[in-house]
Structure 1
Amino acid sequence: KGEGLKDLIRLPEQLPPHPRVFVTAADIDRIRALKDETWVRVATSRLLECVDTEYEPVGHLGAEAHPEKNSVWIYQSFLHALAFHLSDDQKYLKRAVDDLRNIAEGYLLWPIREGFIRASTYGLVESRFTLWFAGAYDLLAATGLPEGDVRLFEEALASTRDTTNRCQHWTCGNHNTWNLAARLAAGIALGSLGDIEDVLWGWEFQGRGRYGFVHQLRHDLLSDGLHWERTPGYHFYTLMAMTELVCMFEHIGMDFWHKHLPTQMVDDGDDHHRAYGPDGSKSFKAAFDAPFYLTLSDGDLSLVHDSGLENLRGVWIWGPLYELAYQAYGDPKYAWLLALIERTYRDRPERKIAALPMSMQSRNGTADFVRLHKWPLPEGRFSIDENTKISLTGRHELASTVFPDTGVTVLRNRESTGAAIHLHWGPHSAGHQSPAALHVDLHGGGKRLTDSPRSGGYDDPAHLTWYRSTIAHNTVTVDEASMIPYDEDGDSIWRSDSSSEPTDGELELFQPGDHFQACRVYNTNVYPGVRLDRTVILTSQYFLDVFRVLSEDRHQYDYAMHVLGKPEVTGTPEQSPFGSSNGYRHLRDVRKWTLSSGDCEVRWSCKANLRTWLRIPDSATLYTSNDPPDPEEGHSLGGLQQLPSRSSIILRAVGKSEVFVSLWHYAGPEPNVQVIASGPESEVGILVTGSDGEVLWTVPFEPAPVVLKAPGL
């Protein structure tokens, strides 16, 4: 209940007049004053066209809920109420009141159904229904409703507590964030300070405690700025709900845009993840800043885990997040991103209305324009070359970034060759993650070279057997088994680790620099008795990968990389299917190669001129295969075209310990490569001879920086 924090966060003594949920009277006055600006005129016309279109419901809805339609109907009632405030046309007021009356009467008759929902198809949609219900009533309450309607609407709106009390996501996840937004909207519309206090600090229902918004700000936005579920897509989806909360709090005089809250240092009792501290204060702004430093080249993002956000420019689908953040903070990099989005989508089919910003082309854009203060914004400015700190622990130095709480390192080359590496090494603490410790994604020449698996959705059977397998990722699989928590058979695609069986990796080395960038991470938890230890080095022309696997017992180790292209290998292949293990069963056209020497070159037919040099350990075997085809939905969020299909190379070795060494070349003259020293528990020396002469890389086994010896250095 916020002991020790309530002096920082004080409830208002009384609430301002309606409207105060979605917008305020000041917002409406401002947008009406801007009515002659093109974007406002076009947005208002779209709103009025939408509400002038015939739609149900007509008459009393009765005792039978219409889960597939209720959200449409309540949104239309909300839009009619908003249209009245912008036009003064009484027909919109009458229709809004009539529809809300029908919905409210029906809502009071509908039972709580399976999933603890009443009006909608599932919990997240139920939260949106409650948000629009509260927004519609709030706008209508400002018009002076008859007492009978006030009683009906407030009784129905108060009954939404039946669902917000019972939402089965109680603590840290995005479902609870949306549930809190719904509860806050209803509480503000009703003028209930008790509901508002519950949203801040959490509440108990039938002996079960629910976490509040303050917990989520202090704990669930990690100390490096990213959301604890560790996918960019869910970072923004949760940020969308958090922004709704922050805007509603702002409307009643509580400023969370600029509030600094102390980090959470201990478990609140039912935490989903273990990221605590360090001692210090967090701000909401960090959640908007951090994604800029998660990008590879050209704004691309790794697609590992349940993200779906291919490029940062795709954030417009979550509405005016960065417009609202710019209004709050004035940060020029937000304006820079918005300008980039507008340029990129100027002639794209995703832009339905040319005069409106892309965020207004999103699902709720018909109403969101009322929240904007002006358009267009300044061009803004952002440079990845400027060093900065991200929240409390994130470090951005010499164009490379480490997120120590998330467990991600992004290395970027500083010579404008579009080269970058995303290395995931954090814990598997969320159900939206895949078993992919030490997974790496590569960019070269501004192009995506490797990729993560794609899913047809959570109902796709392959989401469990392929997408949630370790072999589908760019890391090492041990004994054809996926990493903890997917090491055992089961039907769930929502597994996560626990404090008794953690999956945390460790950062051994973060080495940004002018001539190269390096990172070393390891994990001893995802495969008991096995240490996975990966050192990656990025230059302007190639990526070096030294992957050590150490154990006291004999195992089979499969080093896998999935590339957007087809491999060309010199040697003799034979068909050799893998079998029925999860992940492996989906690999097609598997070929086992007989090679003539201990080294192997693989050339890739892809957009980049990619060549892979592999050191083949003694008694190791090289396989190539095709990954399963992508779902038919097309490109991911922010993608501008369908990505090429993926192929795999899998280097299999058997023994107690092994070291896999490879060089991935994507720019400049092709070098010659020679491993002059190697061993799982000793330093690895790699001699690379190119147009600039010989360079010698030394990758120590003991904790120490990577050493480069080259002419002129």
Structure 2
Amino acid sequence: MNLIPGWRLERARARRSNPAFRNAYCQLESEARAFLGEAMQPQDNPAGYYHNYFCPDHAVELAFDAGSPNAHRCPRDGRVFSGEPYDSAWRWFVNNRLSSMAYRLALMWQLDADSAYLTRCREILLAYAERYPGYPIERELPYGWGKAANHSLDEAVWLIPIARAYDLVRDTLNDRERTLIETNLLALAAEHIRGQKFHRIHNIECWHNAAMAAVGICLDDAGFQKLALEDRFGFRHQLREGVLDDGMWWEGSSSYHFYTLAALIAHVQVSENKGVGLHEDDRLRAMFRAPVSMAFPDFRLPATNDCWYFSSLLSDVCHGVPPAESFYEVAYGWYNEPVYARILERNYARRPRTAVESLLYGEALPDTDGRFVTESAVLKPSGIAILRSREAVEAQSCVLLKYGPHGGGHGHPDKLSVSIYARGNPVATDLGTPGYGVALNETWYRQTLSHNTITLDGRSQPPAEGRLVRFDTTRTGGFEVVDASVAWERDPYAGVAMRRVILWTDAYFWDVFHVAASQECRMDWVCRYQVNRQRQSGLSRRGSISLSGDGYAHVREPVEFTPAEMVSLEWGLSKGGVGAFLPEDVSTQVILGKAPLQPASETGDLLIRRRTARETTFVALVHHWDTEPAVSRVEAIGRDGAGGARGFLVQTGAETHLWVMSESASELSGIEADRTFTYPLAAQA
């Protein structure tokens, strides 16, 4: 066998009776045995686009039924869709299941020599080999054409387990069968992928490379091997240029980070017999570590840019790749870092250790004390900063500020957006994206309004890259700070500069958002909540309002309010609550409505603070609590001429805090307070 060392299979056989790995073997056996009873076969026509297999109303994936190629049900309301694009997208699931099960069947054949697994695997491989030459090249896209699939990306993802399956059963096939599979399927598919290479640093190119490496090593084709590994835009080039110095993949998405990592892992694994030690690359190693530093208290990952909202270190990290535990079984086996064992421990506290990767690549897990420590962190190249309370992770509060690079074609117009957790609960987080075939993806999820930032004149932000002004977690002044800014040269934001400052204490934090434009415009400060509003004060209802702009059509039942000088809003959590104090002035309109969450059938509060100005500062104090609100009163002191205050008095349960946010704040010097905090904004810029 070329694609896996014999010792790994020998060890996996021995692990069948080892209690630490027995569940993984039993799960593999159960899946393979169940699949023997399925009649699924390769289709006569190529697969369509996976992202079209979504309900257009609810933005959720349709329920795949292997026996229903022409009727596809929405799991939310039961509506059935038929015809295109759903029927061809259904075939994507067939390809995906057949290729992954071919590999699992072949692996089971190697582990216990049951000929039923071999027969079914052989059947799949030969059926594809007979059909593949006749598949037309799908030319709907401007590039990246597929044959068995709609796109060369899906072609590559499908081909890797096919090659691995063949490698495991090759010695049982006769000469005619080997020639048919090698010539009509493996070599032909790899050659097709070679012709569809992107020739750039991209997640798709990593899959192209892994597929060509799998076939090249399987068939001893040195040309494919070199192209995939050493040539420009090969494996080494992708790691060197695509992985940022903080360990994140450059496209700025947790999902695409792991999607890319899955391709890189596959490339390393199929190359193991070559003795090149690809897993030793420091940038590959860093890719496992980086997501841990920015995980939320419930171990979900930020859904920044094009990203699946469900991505989590305790479940699925992306569509179309194994769940998180599979990645960290490999990571712990390669690097033996304790943090990866702790992630696995968290996963296996919820379910048995059944990942096939544990059988092949895993190691015995150490006993730990169960604690998991996460701290405030900044990933400078990615432009993500996260401030955290110093509590047990399950009860942690945090705020994440996104300020960095756009992220290419998968980037979102969301500079200086925030995601908020309180007491371990998601309060206002990035929504990521649903399937790309859903209209809401473009009209809502990829618009600035769906993010917690600022829009001008109802238009979404153009691409930009912000900069970090300051990041300080020493608490020498009694608080932590992240301070970032961005400026635009492109219309419709030409001449606009924004700056957002988070001043963090464990009981509450300040959010100070300054905007300056070259001319007067409508400025909308936006925050979208996933929790239920329970109380509000300082708002006088004016009536319904009509909204216009990018994404604004998706705001339901918007109501306008006239604010008092201090507005207070509170939302309930599973235990306790979270609240916001909003200092306002006479120029502010407050708008409350409902907007889509994830999935789109669920809605949450959308809060808009609207001012028409050339320059202004929006300020908010956000606090959270278990039993009683952490902050009972906030008072603004003085005005700086741009809608902001020079300072604030904050009344907590036992103390009065004075916050000084201006250098010219002489009127604050005589105010009595238990504690004084100082962050003069102008001096820090």
TM normalised by structure 2 equals: 0.81
The answer to whether the aligner puts 1:371 opposite 2:337 as a matched pair is no
- CA deviation string 1:526-569 (max 9, x = no partner): 72111111111111111201111112311111111112222634
> How large is the Cα RMSD of the aligned pairs?
3.0
Q: Structure 1 residue 412: deviation in Å?
A: 0.9
Q: Structure 1 residue 508: deviation in Å?
A: 0.4
- CA deviation string 1:641-668 (max 9, x = no partner): xxx8420221111111101111112135
Matches within 5 A, 1:284-299: 284-299=284-299
Match of 1:230 among 233, 238, 252: 252
What is aligned with 2:510? 544
Q: Secondary structure at the match of 2:280?
A: coil
User: Contact (CA 8 Å) 2:325, 2:347: kept in 1 or not?
Assistant: no
- CA deviation string 1:37-82 (max 9, x = no partner): 3325513532551453253549xx8x86577244444444434433
**Structure with the higher fraction of residues in helix conformation:** 2
Match of 1:402 among 378, 382, 387: 378
What is aligned with 1:581? 549
Q: Secondary structure at the match of 1:671?
A: strand
Q: Structure 1 residue 598: deviation in Å?
A: 2.1
One-letter code of the match for 2:299?
A: G
In the alignment, the residues of structure 2 paired with residue 84 and residue 330 of structure 1 have an alpha-carbon distance, to the nearest angstrom, of 30
In the alignment, the residues of structure 2 paired with residue 65 and residue 454 of structure 1 have an alpha-carbon distance, to the nearest angstrom, of 29
In structure 2, do the counterparts of structure 1 residues 182 and 423 end up closer, same or farther at CA, with 3 Å as the change threshold? same
One-letter code of the match for 1:191?
A: D
The answer to whether the aligner puts 1:686 opposite 2:667 as a matched pair is no
- CA deviation string 1:243-302 (max 9, x = no partner): 111222223211122234xxxxxxxxxxxxxxxxxxxxxx31111111111023342433
Match of 2:153 among 101, 124, 135: 124
One-letter code of the match for 2:14?
A: A
Q: Structure 1 residue 329: deviation in Å?
A: 0.7
In structure 2, do the counterparts of structure 1 residues 709 and 423 end up closer, same or farther at CA, with 3 Å as the change threshold? farther
User: Contact (CA 8 Å) 1:293, 1:384: kept in 2 or not?
Assistant: no
In the alignment, the residues of structure 1 paired with residue 216 and residue 358 of structure 2 have an alpha-carbon distance, to the nearest angstrom, of 24
In the alignment, the residues of structure 1 paired with residue 646 and residue 194 of structure 2 have an alpha-carbon distance, to the nearest angstrom, of 58
In the alignment, the residues of structure 1 paired with residue 98 and residue 299 of structure 2 have an alpha-carbon distance, to the nearest angstrom, of 38
Residues matched between the structures, number:
599
What is aligned with 1:647? 605
One-letter code of the match for 1:31?
A: A
Q: Structure 1 residue 331: deviation in Å?
A: 0.7
In the alignment, the residues of structure 2 paired with residue 712 and residue 598 of structure 1 have an alpha-carbon distance, to the nearest angstrom, of 23
What is aligned with 2:113? 88
In structure 2, do the counterparts of structure 1 residues 410 and 701 end up closer, same or farther at CA, with 3 Å as the change threshold? farther
- Structure 1, unaligned stretches of length 5 or more? 1-17, 204-210, 261-282, 347-354, 386-398, 486-502, 634-643
Matches within 5 A, 1:488-527: 503-514=464-475, 515-525=478-488, 527=493
User: Contact (CA 8 Å) 2:538, 2:565: kept in 1 or not?
Assistant: no
Q: Structure 1 residue 164: deviation in Å?
A: 1.1
In the alignment, the residues of structure 2 paired with residue 337 and residue 673 of structure 1 have an alpha-carbon distance, to the nearest angstrom, of 40
Q: Structure 1 residue 578: deviation in Å?
A: 3.3
User: Contact (CA 8 Å) 1:413, 1:540: kept in 2 or not?
Assistant: yes
Q: Structure 1 residue 229: deviation in Å?
A: 1.2
In the alignment, the residues of structure 1 paired with residue 541 and residue 454 of structure 2 have an alpha-carbon distance, to the nearest angstrom, of 23
What is aligned with 1:335? 341
One-letter code of the match for 1:122?
A: H
What is aligned with 2:657? 695
The answer to whether the aligner puts 1:598 opposite 2:573 as a matched pair is no
In structure 2, do the counterparts of structure 1 residues 666 and 370 end up closer, same or farther at CA, with 3 Å as the change threshold? closer
Matches within 5 A, 1:550-569: 550-563=516-529, 564-566=531-533, 568-569=536-537
In the alignment, the residues of structure 2 paired with residue 251 and residue 338 of structure 1 have an alpha-carbon distance, to the nearest angstrom, of 27
User: Contact (CA 8 Å) 2:659, 2:676: kept in 1 or not?
Assistant: no
In the alignment, the residues of structure 2 paired with residue 470 and residue 531 of structure 1 have an alpha-carbon distance, to the nearest angstrom, of 16
The answer to whether the aligner puts 1:52 opposite 2:36 as a matched pair is yes
Match of 1:113 among 138, 141, 159: 138
In the alignment, the residues of structure 1 paired with residue 217 and residue 651 of structure 2 have an alpha-carbon distance, to the nearest angstrom, of 68
Q: Structure 1 residue 436: deviation in Å?
A: 0.7
Q: Which stretch shows the higher mean deviation, 216-225 or 70-79?
A: 70-79
Match of 1:146 among 174, 180, 203: 174
User: Contact (CA 8 Å) 1:550, 1:680: kept in 2 or not?
Assistant: no
Matches within 5 A, 1:63-74: 68=91, 69-74=94-99
- CA deviation string 1:461-504 (max 9, x = no partner): 1211111211221111111111004xxxxxxxxxxxxxxxxx11
In the alignment, the residues of structure 1 paired with residue 45 and residue 303 of structure 2 have an alpha-carbon distance, to the nearest angstrom, of 42
One-letter code of the match for 1:320?
A: S
Q: Structure 1 residue 604: deviation in Å?
A: 2.7
The answer to whether the aligner puts 1:430 opposite 2:415 as a matched pair is no
What is aligned with 1:267? none
Q: Secondary structure at the match of 1:448?
A: strand
In the alignment, the residues of structure 2 paired with residue 26 and residue 445 of structure 1 have an alpha-carbon distance, to the nearest angstrom, of 47
User: Contact (CA 8 Å) 1:578, 1:585: kept in 2 or not?
Assistant: no
What is aligned with 1:439? 417
Q: Which stretch shows the higher mean deviation, 537-546 or 101-110?
A: 101-110
Q: Which stretch shows the higher mean deviation, 293-302 or 26-35?
A: 293-302
In the alignment, the residues of structure 2 paired with residue 197 and residue 381 of structure 1 have an alpha-carbon distance, to the nearest angstrom, of 45
In structure 2, do the counterparts of structure 1 residues 443 and 339 end up closer, same or farther at CA, with 3 Å as the change threshold? same
In structure 2, do the counterparts of structure 1 residues 40 and 510 end up closer, same or farther at CA, with 3 Å as the change threshold? closer
What is aligned with 1:350? none
Q: Structure 1 residue 327: deviation in Å?
A: 0.5
The answer to whether the aligner puts 1:660 opposite 2:618 as a matched pair is yes
In the alignment, the residues of structure 2 paired with residue 294 and residue 653 of structure 1 have an alpha-carbon distance, to the nearest angstrom, of 33
What is aligned with 1:394? none
Q: Which stretch shows the higher mean deviation, 562-571 or 174-183?
A: 562-571
Q: Secondary structure at the match of 1:228?
A: coil
Q: Secondary structure at the match of 1:571?
A: strand
In the alignment, the residues of structure 1 paired with residue 391 and residue 16 of structure 2 have an alpha-carbon distance, to the nearest angstrom, of 48
Q: Structure 1 residue 382: deviation in Å?
A: 6.3
Matches within 5 A, 1:433-472: 433-453=411-431, 455-472=433-450
Q: Structure 1 residue 670: deviation in Å?
A: 2.4
Q: Which stretch shows the higher mean deviation, 175-184 or 43-52?
A: 43-52
User: Contact (CA 8 Å) 1:454, 1:631: kept in 2 or not?
Assistant: no
Q: Secondary structure at the match of 1:471?
A: helix
One-letter code of the match for 1:231?
A: S
- Structure 2, unaligned stretches of length 5 or more? 49-90, 678-685
- CA deviation string 1:127-174 (max 9, x = no partner): 122112211221123x26433333322212211133212336442222
User: Contact (CA 8 Å) 2:244, 2:250: kept in 1 or not?
Assistant: yes
- CA deviation string 1:25-46 (max 9, x = no partner): 1111111122223325513532
Matches within 5 A, 1:190-201: 190-201=219-230
In the alignment, the residues of structure 2 paired with residue 684 and residue 304 of structure 1 have an alpha-carbon distance, to the nearest angstrom, of 33
In the alignment, the residues of structure 2 paired with residue 144 and residue 286 of structure 1 have an alpha-carbon distance, to the nearest angstrom, of 40
What is aligned with 1:320? 326
In the alignment, the residues of structure 1 paired with residue 28 and residue 396 of structure 2 have an alpha-carbon distance, to the nearest angstrom, of 42
In the alignment, the residues of structure 1 paired with residue 651 and residue 325 of structure 2 have an alpha-carbon distance, to the nearest angstrom, of 50
Match of 2:583 among 608, 612, 615: 615
